Each structure stands twice: as C-alpha cells, then as structure tokens.
Structure 1
Amino acid sequence: MSDTKISALPAVTATADADILPVVQGSGAGAVTRRTTLAQLRSGLLADRPAHVRDFGAVGDGTTNDAPAIQAAVDALAATGGGVLEFGARAYRISTPIVVNNAAIIFQGAGFTEGPNVASGTWLTINQTGFTPFTFTGIASRGSVVRDLAVRQTHTAPVGPGWAPTDYDFVFRVQDCLGAIDFDNVFLCAINRGIWIDNSGRFNIQRLRGQVYTTGIEIDRGFDAGRLQHVHFWPFVSAADDVVRWQQQNQDSIVLRRVDGIFMDDLFLFGARSGLRFSTSASGTARKFYIGKYYSDFTQYGVWIDGNGVAGQIANMTTQSELFNSGGAAYVGGGGIRIDGNNARVQIGNLRIDDAESNSIRVNGTGNRLDIFSFRAEFYNRLNDGSAAIHVANVPVGTPNAVFLGSPALLGGGNGGPLVNSGTNSFVALAGPAGRADRPGVMVGSEATGLFAPSATDIAAVAAGVEVFRATSAGTVTLGATSGAHGFGVTTPANTVNRVIATGTVAAGTPSLAVAGTDANIGIALAAKGTGTVRLQTRSATAFEVNATGTPGNFVRVNATASGGTPQIISQGSDTNVALQLSAKGAAAVTASNPLQLPGYTVATLPAAATYVRCVIYVSDGTANKRLAISDGTAWRWPDGAVVS
C-alpha cells in the first residue's frame, strides 16, 4: 500500500476493530502511507491516557447520581493498575458510596470558584445522609490523591438558635491503608464532617479550606508522621449568628487521637469549640506532635487536651475566645488552652491568648506540665472575679501540675487578675537559660550575675562571679560564699513547725530576733562550737560573754518576773547542790550599789553549818549585838565567837 494514494482507496462507511486503515507518516517527499487496524490505532492513542468520569456515564448536571459512573471509572482504572481520573468543570451529585481499594487513583478536579454555592470548576454535591461518599481502604490504594475540587452539602437554612446541621457522615474516609492518601487544594463547603483517617500514616493534607460544622479532620492510629498544612476554616458559606455559635458549641476543627509525630503548620481555624483537640482512643493519644504557626479565632478553646499522656511542641500560637458577633463579649467558659487529661507534656514557644472569660490557661487533671517561653494574655478575667491568667488545679492525690515560663508573662486588660491562682499545691515557675556557661540560669545584669543550679537538688545565686547564696532541697540555706565557706546558714529539719523570725524596723525602732511556731512555749538557743564563747556586743565591743570551763552540767539561769516580783540569778544543773560564784577580776572587790539582804533564820531553824562554811546569816531572835552569825564549818557563831544558842 505504500505506493497507493489514500484518495484512491474506496470509501468506508463503518469500521470494525479488525479493519485495516491507512496512516500517513511524514510529509512531502518523505511521506509514507502505512497500514494499521482500528484496534491498534485506538490502543496506541489511548495508552496511559487519564480516564474521564464522563467516559463512564457521569452526567455532571448536579441532579443525576453520578456515583455509579465514578465507581465504574475507578474500577476500570484499578483493572489496569490505577491512574488519573478526571472530572472536568461540572457538578457531580453523589448519593451512593464510592470505594477505592485496589489501586492508587488520583481524583483530579478542574479547580473551583471559592464561595458559598456551587460555581465554576469541579464540585461534588451531597444531599443524602446515611453513607460515606468516598472511602479509601487497603494498602493497594496507598498513593491515591484528591485534588483541585470542592464538596458541597445541603443543610436547612439557619432560622434561629435551635439550628443544627444535617447529620452527614464524613465525606472522605481513609481506613486501614497503612500509608499515604493525600488531599491537595480541596474546598469543604458547608460540610458537617470532612476527612477521617484511621490506621493510615504518611498522609499529607494541604491547602484545605472551607466551613465545617462538626469536625474538619479527625485522625486515629496515625503511626507514621503525617502532615497538615495550609488549613483555613472560615465562614465561607454562612456567617449567621446561629451557625457560627453552633460551631462554637459543637465543632472540633481538628481532632487528634493516637497520632505519632504529626507535623502541622499554617493553621487558621475560625468559629469552633476547639481548634485543636487532643483526645484519646483505645490505641492511645497524640505523641510528639509539632506545630509551626497556628491561629484560632472565635474558638472556645484554642487547644483542648482531654487525653492522657499527650506530648508535643507548638512554635507560635495565637487564640481568641470571643463570642461571635457579640460586641466583644467573651465566650462562656472560653480560654486559650484547657487541659483536662493527665500527664501532658507540651512546650510552646510564643503564645498569645485574648478574650478569656476567666483563665487564659486552665490546667486540670494531675501531673501535667506546660513549658512556655513567651506568654501574653490580653483581656482575661472578664468576669472580674479575681480569676488568674493561669489556673493550675490543686492535686490532693498524685503529682501536682506545673507551668514553667521562660520569660515574665505580659498581662493586659485582666481587671487586676493575678498571674496564677492561690490555694493550689501546683505551681507556676519562671525559669530561663542565661547566666554563663559554667553557671547556667537566669542572667541578671551581666553574664556573671544570676541564678544557676549547681546540682539537681540545689539552686544558687552568683554576683560578679562569686556565689553568694545557695538553697538545697534538704532545707539548708547558706549565704555569703560557696556552701562550706559561707558566713551564714539556715538548716530546716523535716516537718519543721517552730522557727526563728528576724524583723527589721523603721527608723528609731528596734530590730528583733524572735521564735514562732505551733508549740505554745518555744525556747531559743545560741550555740558556740567547741570551747568558743557566746558574745553580745554593743558599741563595737563585747558587752556580755558566756563561757564554759568544761562540758556544761551546771549553768546559770536568769529569771525575769512579773511586776512587783524580784528578778533572779539562779544556779541550775545536774548536781543536787550547785553553788553560785560572783568573781571580780584581779584584786577588785565584788560590789553592790544597794545593801545586800541576808537570809533570815531563828535559832531553832539554823541550817547545817557544815553546808554553809564561811557564810553569814541573819538570826532574827538574837540580841541587839548578836543578830549576825557566821559558820566555821562546825557551828554557827556570833560575832564574839560564842556558839549560837
């Protein structure tokens, strides 16, 4: 046939697959006419060509149920190893399930016009409940993608505070794929529940926009790191008060249950009960999540943690809890972060929380820990009832909660509410990495002045490179130099109830050192070491000194008395009889500024002379010149030497 012109061939009115057709290849002098069957020609032209849903009977008029045609197209692609399924710029009504389970299928839309209603581009419309429109399941479907299309559901018009959305199932269910199913540039328009992913990791959801009423994305058993990025939920369809306020009471934008190592970034979530909810399932809770930039607006809780053991990091977060379209009123019970689970470990770099009715951050449960580097709270304590910016619950049993701030909190518009609530054994602590390399801590003034931790059980302060303070977990406090070379120390035994209080005064007052405690009577002891003395000084010199010639067994007690009484200097000790000695220095005498009063006896009541050798007494019944008596160790004698009788 190579030497026959096509124009010379007989006309053919109909062809079969086996018919021979001429094909001219090349042009001009190099043109060659070749032979091929119609089947061969069709196979060559259609090889690897994307399928189109209209090739399988889809109408795209927004009325006809196109789900069977789409399923037929999916099955046909799966039979040849998968591929691209094109939709074109039409509206396809879906009222029966479509399942992808045998191959990777790419659902390729033609884009969409963002807005409240079906417009140009590819739209999937749903107006029946009781089924899941699209399900991806099984490992053979890994690698499937949904991109460049919009989904619209029909709901009753908002007519009052009792409005609620129609209870549709999730539009997309990804179940037991064990690997990636991706969504790219998808618009969820008036959707009750958007995307469910279970037992399927490595997913990538990006450029997801729309208005959802109950759940935007819910993920469980995501055992390999997935990604959510560029998510934007906003009232594209309806900003009616009843709609958005229903969302604020019921909608959880993104729900994470057992999800390991998920990466999230560039999230904007508007009008929800919770922007991010970290909950639980039989498989566990979210661990090692990472969030780059996150902003929630008109949300009751920006982050709500009601699962146990949640752990992750947030780089930048801003959240606002105002009641929608209410002139600035705070949402009842709203706050930026709420933790109702136990043992959460969450780190946040930069955090701003606005318009909390009471607490910007509320930590319930037990054993929770929040680490926040930079925290700003604006317009909290809106009830003006003394609510704190950070509320940490008291924990009677279990591990107390803790919040650590890397820098001082910036508080504004809080009606005088404190940073942290009282009446709790949980705590909010301020700490930060500074100081110098060998003394990490909070730097104050210079690299050589600040706080540092010399050990896991000690905290200390350094000024100009010199340690001046240390406190230990055992209750010992030292001042003045490195512990062991310090000038002053305080040791507090366990369960101390009695204590020493030093009190300064204003000018002309007298500073005091006193004891206090729960006991009714409390003494105070000043103890020297070894043979050292205890000295009291005034005018820069010793005014009174206490010394001991040996280990004290006997000692002196000074008793003050009530008004009208006589103060006393009394010998005390372990001996039965303890004398009292007054000694002058050198040859000086012991003097008294007033007369000395001797003890008085009668002749009949004289004490034993041997007990009071060389002692003088007054005998009340002696004669005028025989009133005084002196003991010679054997008898009492009058001044003339006669024995008292």
Structure 2
Amino acid sequence: MSDTKISALPAIAAAADADMLPVVQGSGAGATTRRASLAQLRQGLLADRALHVREFGAVGDGIANDAPAIQAAIDAMAASGGGVLEFGPRTYRLASPVVISGVSVILQGAGFTEGPTVASGTWLTIDATGFTPFTFTGVAARGSVVRDLAIRQTHAAAQAPGWAPTDYDFVFRIQDCLGAVDFDNVFLCAVNRGIWCDNSGRLTIQRLRGQVFTTGIEMDRAYDVSRIEHVHFWPFATANDDVVRWQQQNQDTLVFRRVDGLFMDDVFVLGARAAVRFAGSAFGATTKFYIGSLYADFAQLGILVDGDGVEGQIANATTQGELWNAAGQPLAGSAGLRVDGNGARIQVANLRVDDAESNAIRVNGANNRLDVFAFRAEYYNRLNNGSAAIHLANVAAGTPNSVFLGSQAVLANGFGGPLVNGGTNGHVAMGAPAGRLDRPGLSVGSDGSGLFAPSGTEVAAAAAGVEVLRLSSSGAVTLGGAGGGAGFAVSTPANAANRLAAAATAAAGVPSLSAQGSDTNITMAVAAKGTGAVRLQTRGQTALEVNALATPVNHLRVDGVAAGGLPRLSAQGSDSNISVQIAPKGTGFVDATGPLRLPTYTVATLPSASTFARCIIYVSDGASNRRFAVSDGTSWRWPDGAVVS
C-alpha cells in the first residue's frame, strides 16, 4: 500500500464493486487493517434498511400510475422477508391494484396536512374505478401496518341536487388473513368506501379520520377481538348541502356483521344514515361488543341494529338527528337507537338523543331487550303527533320487547309525547332484585323499608323491617301485616266483574263505599265471621247492630221507594209465612211517634182468626159503628166481646 497522503491521491473516476478498500478493525494496539470490496461495504451498510417506493420506479407526481412500482417493491420485500416500505412526502396516483400476500409489510407515509385537497405529506390519489387499491390477503400478511398517510378520491359529479359519489370500491381490503392488520393515523378524504375486513380478526384501527360517503369501515367474520378508537368523520372535503345530505340518507359509517368481542371508543361521526350499524350476515351477528364513547351528529340513526341476536354494551352515546344546514329541522325517520332485528340484548349506561323526528328509541322486531341506566331525550316527537320517547312494537307472535330503565328518564321538548307508546304488549320498567323483609330489593330511605318479593307470585312492602302490604298474582291484597296478621284483606276471583269502590270527597261531602262493575244490578254484602254481629257506629258507639240467632233462613229487608211511596221493612226468606217481631228490652215498650195504620177488611173478607191470634184489624163495614176486631185464636170479636158477624 502506498504511503501517499489521502489528500494527495488522485480522485477515482468510477467505483466498481470489486474495488478494494482498506478497513481498520478494532482500535489501539489491537487494531488490524484488512481489505474489503466496495460491494461488501455496500451490503453491510444497506442491510435491513427500509425500502422506498421511488427505488422501484414510483414517480410521486400525482399523474403517473405508481401502483406497479409499489407492487414491485412489495414483491421484492416478499422475497427478502418483508420490512418497511416508505412513501416520501409526495402524491402517488393509483390506477391498478396492489396486493400484499405472503409477506408482512409496513406501509409508512410521511404524515399529511388535513384539508379538503392534496397538500403536504404523503397522499395516495385514486381517480379510476373497477379495482381495489390495496388488498391484504393470506395468513403471511398478518402483522402488516398502514400508517401516516392520506387517501383522496376524485368524484366528477357536480355538487348539486341529485349528487352521488363515484362508486369506488373499498380502498383497503383485508381478506382471509385470520389475524391482525393495523391502521394508524390514516386520513380518508372524499373516499367512497374506506376499509373492508373479512375473516381477519384482531384488526386494530386508531386515529382514523376523514370524510367518507358510503362506508367508513365494514367487518365480517372477525372471530377475535378487534379494536377501533379515535375515529373522527367530518366534512373535511366538503360541507356542501347536497353532499352531506346524501350521506345522511345513504352512508352507514361503521358496519359490523359477524364480529366477536369488538372494542370501540372515542368515535365521532357527522352526517350519516347510521353512524354505527350492527347488521347480520350468513355467518351471524355482532356479539359482546363494547363501545366506550360515541357521538353521532346530523345522523338519521345514531345506532341501528338490524341483525338478529346482537349483544353488547355501550358506556356513553349521544346522537343528534337534524337535517344538515336546515335550522334544526329533524331528519325524516331520525332516532337515536333503533332495533329492527330480533333477540337483541344491549346495555347502555348513558344515552342522550336530540332531535328525533318521532321516537328517541324505537324497538321493532321481537324478543329484544334494552337496559338503559340513564336516558335523556331532547326535542323528540318533532312531528307533534303523540309519538313516545320509547316506541315498542306490538308483537303479535313471539316474545314481546322490553326496555328496563335504571333511573327516571329525562324528557324535554317532546310536545307532551309520553315515555312509552300505548297499545303495545312490550313494556318499559325498572327492575329490582327480589330482596327480603329485612332487606327489600328496592329500598327507600333505609335498608329495611321498601319493596320485596316473598315468592315468585307476590310483591310486598316493608316499613322498618315490618310487612305492611302484600299483593299476589291471585288478586289477593293484605294491609297492615303478613299473612294472618293483616289488618285488611281483599280477595279477587279470576273472573271478577264487579267490585267495591271507596270514594273520598271534598269538605261537606259524604265519603262513600259503592258497588261498581259490569252487571246492571249489584248487591253488596257485609259479612261477620261465625256468630259475630255487624255493627254500624257513629259518635264512637254502636247505632245499629245486625245479628242472627241461628243460621239465617229468614231475614229483614229495608226497601227505599220513589217520591210518594212508603219505605218498607219486610220479612224475606225461604219460609212461606214469616212474622216480624219488635222486641223491647226489659220493661221497655214499643213507642210509635205517629198513628199506627191497621190493615182493612170487611166482615165478609176477614182472614182466619186462628192464623192471627191476638192481632187487631180494622173492619170497614161493622154494624153500630163497630170498626175494630181482635182475634182470640178462634174467632174475631168486637171490643165488647161479640163475635164479628
């Protein structure tokens, strides 16, 4: 080797791979000078580095089709075991498909500037239909990542009434990967359909934002937990009335079919038909989903459930159903939560629904159950037609629908619309555990006071651990104590048609106890037990007592009459002939406050003297002014003892 100084050596004209260079390995006394070819040095320096799409011919001018170059780069990465494919801060046009299969890659952009048009950073533009720009397929593509880039599609139709987007396919399709593909910090600007995932669980999407026209994300056959968070769909590309209103009629932003154990949080959607849609497929429906926070603005339906057997939980959801840029006018058919499927089981901790045209919650189908802990509806029933805040379809065949509220609903500005619609066999209720006497299932004020269920057919109320009320499914009611200790009891037969009604009155009125029911004539009975008597009291003392000397066969009846008639006290019973007795006590006597009126006969019509012994009558045609006659048990005699003749 020459000892000439490096600065004195002539410059090399061209370097060949075989050219040799000295390399000092180590340092100090252990340093050793060895030779290495230029090719060896290059290989060592460039080993495991990220590839760049421009190395494979990508232009990035927004005009040339860069898809073939991107595909070539991915194919090269597949041959070398994958890696990072970098997209510099340029605009790359895609006019043909790119397929990632047999390799796990990271598509790494250089960030982007949010806005309605292509700006700084990495942008992928699409202006042709009939193909899928990116497809991840096969198990070897699992672990692939797309991050820090923006996508913009061109829609040629004028933004005017009747506008519709160009019918592009999904930008990204994850198909049959059976596992994870991640998206991080991706911007979908004026994109018709965003991300499709089928037969590929563990999908993770975070920091996804933009404006989509038909679908943002759609998933099916996701058999392992997927995560979607920090999603923000807003009119980044255009807020034109005709565009956003088209979205409000046609866009289902997040669509989930057979998806198991989905986690979703921090989601905002503006301008959609359904912000979140749980739809079924041939493979089933979404189960065990969890939504942390959802805000759907200018959405016809915040949450739509039209698959059968959907199950999951929602922590917080707020929806608003106004027509875009229409001074608060509600969207036709708008609702916060609508169930069109059957057998749903959905729990919601906090639900607020604003500007529902009719119902804030609408449950169609059958056998659906919603549990809503805190529910608030503002400006529902905008049609002012009596629509309820919660509408439950009447189920003619099958299990009726039900909604259970954890607290009283907060309803405002609903034109007097009720909480739940009438004419339905579904129900809205608050539930409580059965509890027990000393610890009621529904407590009021203290642990020992409230409602509990002594059995599956009874409901009871306790005060300070003492039963004071019990109701049974047989129609029995007891007040004042349990079982035989009750102070008052009511029994109702299964075919009851008539009843007692107690009515209170205002001052100077007369409280009443009356018979009511469907029969035209209803008799009332007040019954004592055993040989007991029935007493009517006034001023704290007995004023009238009704008693029986034996098992009654005959009895007295008091008849009221119309004006001009004579009120009557008459004997009634099964005997043919019944006498009536007035019995004073001790030496007391019978005192009449007016003249006694005797029955009138003629001499020819006298009744049998033996039948009326010791009775007195009036004889209208007695001779010599004889008018009164008394029976001695054998004959009727005048007061002077002569036989009446």
Q: Same fold (TM over 0.5)?
A: yes
Indicate the residue corresponding to 1:384 in structure 2. 384
Change (3 A) 1:205 1:10: closer
Task: For residue 178 of structure 2, give the secondary structure of its aligned residue in structure 1.
Answer: coil
| 2:594 is the alignment partner of 1:628 | no
Change in CA separation of 1:611 and 1:143 when aligned onto 2, cut-off 3 Å: farther
Residue 303 of structure 1 aligns with which residue?
A: 303
Higher alpha-carbon deviation: 161-170 or 577-586: 577-586
- Pairwise CA distance, 1:314: 1.4
Question: Does the 8 Å CA contact 1:354/1:377 hold for their aligned counterparts?
Answer: yes
SS in 2 for 1:249: helix
CA drift at 1:155:
0.8
- Matching residue's letter, 2:136: F
Deviation digits for residues 473-518 of structure 1 (CA, Å, limit 9, x no counterpart): 3333333334543322333333533222211111001111112222
Given the superposition, is the C-alpha separation of residues 576 and 477 from structure 1 closer, same or farther in structure 2, using an over 3 Å criterion? same
1:232 positional shift: 0.5
Mapped partners of 1:74, 1:532: distance in 2: 102
CA contact (8 A) 2:390 2:419 kept: yes
Secondary structure of 1:371 counterpart? strand
Q: In 2 relative to 1, CA 568–472 (structure 1 residues): closer, same or farther, beyond 3 Å?
A: same
Q: Is the contact made by 2:614 and 2:630 (CA closer than 8 Å) also made in structure 1?
A: no
Distance 1:613 1:396, change over 3 A: farther
Closer/same/farther in 2, CA of residues 57 and 640 from structure 1, 3 Å limit: same
* Larger deviation, residues 604-613 vs 162-171: 604-613
SS at 1:77 equivalent: helix
Rounded to whole Å, the distance in 2 between the matches of 1:418 and 1:456 is: 30
Return the offset for 1:355: 2.0
* Residues in 2 aligned to 1:282 and 1:585: alpha-carbon distance in whole angstroms: 93
Q: Which moved more, 1:455-464 or 1:431-440?
A: 431-440
Kindly indicate whether the alpha-carbon contact (under 8 Å) linking 1:158 and 1:240 is maintained by their aligned counterparts in 2: no
Counterpart residue identity of residue 221, structure 2: R
One-letter identity of the residue aligned with 1:512: S
Displacement of 1:197 after TM fit? Answer: 1.6
CA distance in 1 between partners of 2:248 and 2:561 (Å): 74
Cα separation, 2, equivalents of 1:423 and 1:56:
69
- Residue type of the partner of 1:240? N
Partner of residue 185, structure 2 = 185
AA of the residue aligned to 2:185: N
Matched, 1:61 2:61: yes
C-alpha displacement at 1:165, in angstroms? 0.7
Moved more, 166-175 or 621-630: 621-630
Deviation per CA, 1:572-624: give whole Å up to 9, x if none. 33344443332222332233323333334445545455544544444545444
Q: Which AA in structure 2 matches 1:236?
A: F
Q: What is the one-letter code of the residue matched to 1:628? A: A
Question: 1:524 — aligned with what?
Answer: 524
Q: Which digits, 9 at most, give the CA deviation of each residue in 1:153-193, with x for residues without a partner?
A: 11125431211111111111222222222211111111111
Paired residue type of 2:629: L
1:156 aligns with 2:147: no
Q: CA deviation at 1:291?
A: 1.2
Partner residue, 1:539: 539
State the partner residue of 2:224.
224
In structure 2, relative to structure 1, the CA distance for the partners of 1:408 and 1:26 (3 Å cut) is same
Give the structure 1 partner of residue 281 of structure 2. Answer: 281
Matches within 5 A, 1:183-582: 183-430=183-430, 438-440=438-440, 444-445=444-445, 449-482=449-482, 484-582=484-582
Amino acid at match of 2:48: D
How far is the alpha carbon of 1:10 from its aligned partner? 13
**What is the number of equivalent residue pairs in this alignment?**
643
Q: Deviations over 1:372-421 (max 9, x none)?
A: 22222222333334433333344444443333332223333333434333
CA displacement 1:338-382 (0-9 Å, x = unmatched): 223333332222222222233322333333333222222222333
Query: What secondary structure is seen at the aligned counterpart in 1 of 2:318?
Result: strand
User: How far apart are residue 628 of structure 1 and its match?
Assistant: 1.6
Counterpart Cα distance in 1 of 2:288 and 2:557: 69
CA contact (8 A) 1:95 1:126 kept: yes
Alignment TM-score, normalising by the size of structure 2: 0.90
Find the aligned partners of 2:46 and 2:266 in 1 and give their Cα distance: 41
Call closer, same or farther: CA 1:57–1:493 in 2, change over 3 Å: farther
| RMSD (CA atoms) | 3.3
Question: Which moves more between the two structures, 280-289 or 423-432?
Answer: 423-432
Are the aligned partners of 2:24 and 2:31 in contact in 1 as well (CA < 8 Å)? yes
1:601/1:186 CA distance change after superposition, 3 Å: same
Deviation at 1:264, TM superposition (A): 1.1
8 Å contact kept, 2:437–2:462: no
Counterpart AA for 1:291:
I
Return the letter of the residue paired with 2:428. V
Question: Is the 2:439–2:447 contact (alpha carbons within 8 Å) kept by the matching residues of 1?
Answer: no
Q: CA deviation at 1:230?
A: 0.6
Higher mean displacement: 571-580 or 66-75: 571-580
Alignment of 1:135-154 (within 5 A): 135-154=135-154
Contact 1:621 / 1:627 at 8 angstroms: preserved in 2?
no
| Matched-pair contact (CA < 8 Å) for 2:437–2:452 | no
- How far apart, in 1, do the equivalents of 2:304 and 2:475 lie? 38
Displacement after TM superposition at 1:209 (Å)? 0.5
- Which is further off, 404-413 or 114-123? 404-413
Offset of 1:437 from its aligned partner? 11
Is the contact between residue 300 and residue 333 of structure 1 (CA under 8 Å) also seen in structure 2?
yes
Question: Deviation per CA, 1:295-340, whole angstroms, max 9, x where unpaired?
Answer: 1111112122223332222111211112222222222332322223
Residue type of the partner of 1:91?
T
Task: Identify which range, 264-273 or 110-119, moves more after superposition.
Answer: 110-119
Offset, 1:135: 1.8
**For structure 1, which runs of at least 5 residues remain unmatched after alignment?**
none
Unaligned 5+ segments in structure 2 are none
In structure 1, C-alpha distance between the alignment counterparts of 2:187 and 2:482, rounded to whole Å: 65
SS in 1 for 2:248: helix
For residue 247 of structure 1, report the CA deviation from its aligned partner.
1.0
Query: In the TM superposition, what is the alpha-carbon distance from 1:540 to its structure 2 partner?
Result: 1.3
| C-alpha displacement of 1:631 | 5.4
CA distance, structure 2, for counterparts of residue 506 and residue 293 of structure 1: 54
| Residue type at the aligned position of 1:242 | D
**Offset of residue 30 of structure 1:** 4.8
- Tell me the distance in 2 between the aligned counterparts of 1:253 and 1:371: 25
Measured in 2, the distance between the counterparts of 1:165 and 1:437 equals 65
State the alpha-carbon separation in 1 of the partners of residues 494 and 5 from structure 2. Answer: 112
Is this contact kept in 1: 2:299–2:322, CA < 8 A? yes
Partner of 1:105: 105
Measure, in 2, the Cα distance between the counterparts of 1:10 and 1:252: 66
Question: Residue type matched to 1:264 in 2?
Answer: M
The 10-residue stretch of structure 1 (178-187 or 546-555) with the greater mean CA deviation from structure 2: 546-555
C-alpha distance in structure 2 between counterparts of 1:181 and 1:116, whole Å: 27
Structure 1 residues 268 and 453 mapped into 2: Cα distance closer, same or farther (>3 Å)?
Answer: farther
CA distance in 2, matches of 1:527, 1:40: 116
2:299 is paired with a residue of what secondary structure? strand
Distance 2:580 2:379 in 1: 74
Between 1:31-40 and 1:103-112, the stretch displaced more is: 31-40
Of 22-31 and 342-351, deviating more is 22-31
Q: Is the 8 A contact 2:301 2:335 kept in 1?
A: yes
Contact (CA 8 Å) 1:451, 1:460: kept in 2 or not? yes
